[in-house]
Amino acid sequence: MTDFPERVFSGMQATGNLHLGNYLGAMLNWLRMQETHDCIYCVVDLHAITVWQDPQALAGNIREVTAAYIACGLDPEKSIIFNQSQVSAHAELAWVFNCVARLGWLNRMTQFKEKAGKDRENASIGLFVYPNLMAADILAYRATHVPVGEDQKQHLELSRDIAQKFNNDFAASIAAHGHGEAFFPLPKPMITGPATRVMSLRDGTRKMSKSEPSEYSRIDMTDDADTIAQKFRKARTDPEPLPSEPDGLKDRPEAENLVGIYAALAGMTKADVLKEYGGAQFSAFKPALSDLAVARLAPISTEMTRLKSDPAHIDGILADGAARAEAIAKPVMDAVKDIVGLLRTR
Ligand code: TYM
């Protein structure tokens, strides 16, 4: 198998405020990987429009998510930060992948089924082929590692299937164009930490999500201290005290979720948290959790407000990031065209 240099790619949708699930499930790993790898972090606006977005709000949301990235600690000097629609390779490669991926593969995507709901006939085609665009995002940079939350696992498997099928279908042409045995790497999902699937605070069996109507189901990155405390206070729990071992969290989804959130925020394992809080009632654990969340999130939210007051600065970061991203993706896209046999005369 061809060896590919390690490169990290990941993204979040430009649908406004980030929540604690995005932060603990993805961002913490993005920050860690930024220290050791070449990283590309994208604000995925083309994915956002697979469902209706108010045009004026969308532009604001792209800046908002960019501000959140930087406020969380992504460094635009070290990592490439840009919005997807500014680099045309994403849409171009997605088209090629629309022709590689099979209908049957996409029919199996559980997230489409969840998002389209009962009114499937009325869902956009974009929503259906959403995972193909995601594969294009990653593979336009021939990225090898993709830090994401648990909910993206199936999409990542599809990206690997698409990369593999492209490599197989075009094997002779790939070799003839001097790219060896494989043109695309099979990107690895990096799903690690104690909070890879942060659950709703109202229902421990549902994922914390932007689309959940109740604001009490999630902690937004911009929530102030009082709101955070109130949301944790109202979070659903069971009447038992916390166990002293992770095994005791089985069949206690709400308890498991809050312990996972604490562990991720504190940089501990669930086992360590339970060593400290085993036997404690939620009436004691919840205030400790709120204090910890406020201590971690308040500086981020202050920095976001500061950044958002200067949209030109954010636009400058996105422009610079897009130019650096394009410099990587354009040659990859040119090579794909050559491999597929799409004539380039300029
Ligand atoms: P999005 O915008 O829904 O979420 C961004 C990241 O946050 C993670 N996440 C969670 N992690 C733990 N618990 C939760 N409750 C939770 N909710 C969200 C997601 O797993 C994700 O890592 N399709 C992607 C965006 C995307 C992408 C890509 C990701 C587009 N192209 C290429 C990686 C590579 C999405 O909608 O994420």
pLDDT tens-digit map of 294-320: 999 999 999 999 999 999 999 999 999
- What pLDDT, in 10s, does the model give residues 244-272? 999 999 999 999 999 999 999 999 999 99
Q: b/e map of 98-118 (b: 16 or more CB within 10 Å)?
A: eebbeeebbeebeebeebbee
Catalytic residue status for 207: yes
Give the total residue count for the chain: 346
Number of neighbours of residue 317 by Cβ within 10 angstroms: 20
Domains in the chain, please, with CATH?
8-196+310-340 (3.40.50.620), 215-306 (1.10.240.10)
Q: b/e map of 140-171 (b: 16 or more CB within 10 Å)?
A: bbbbbbbbbbebbebbbbbbbbbbebbbeebe
pLDDT at 335: 98
pLDDT at 211: 87
CA separation, residue 176 to residues 132, 140, 164, 170 (Å): 26, 20, 18, 10
- What pLDDT, in 10s, does the model give residues 138-197? 999 999 999 999 999 999 999 999 999 999 999 999 999 999 999 999 999 999 999 999
Residues with Cβ within 8 Å of residue 107, at least 6 apart in sequence: none
Residues with CB under 6 A from ligand 1: 9-13, 21-22, 25-26, 44, 47, 134, 137-138, 146, 148-149, 151-152, 196-198, 207-208
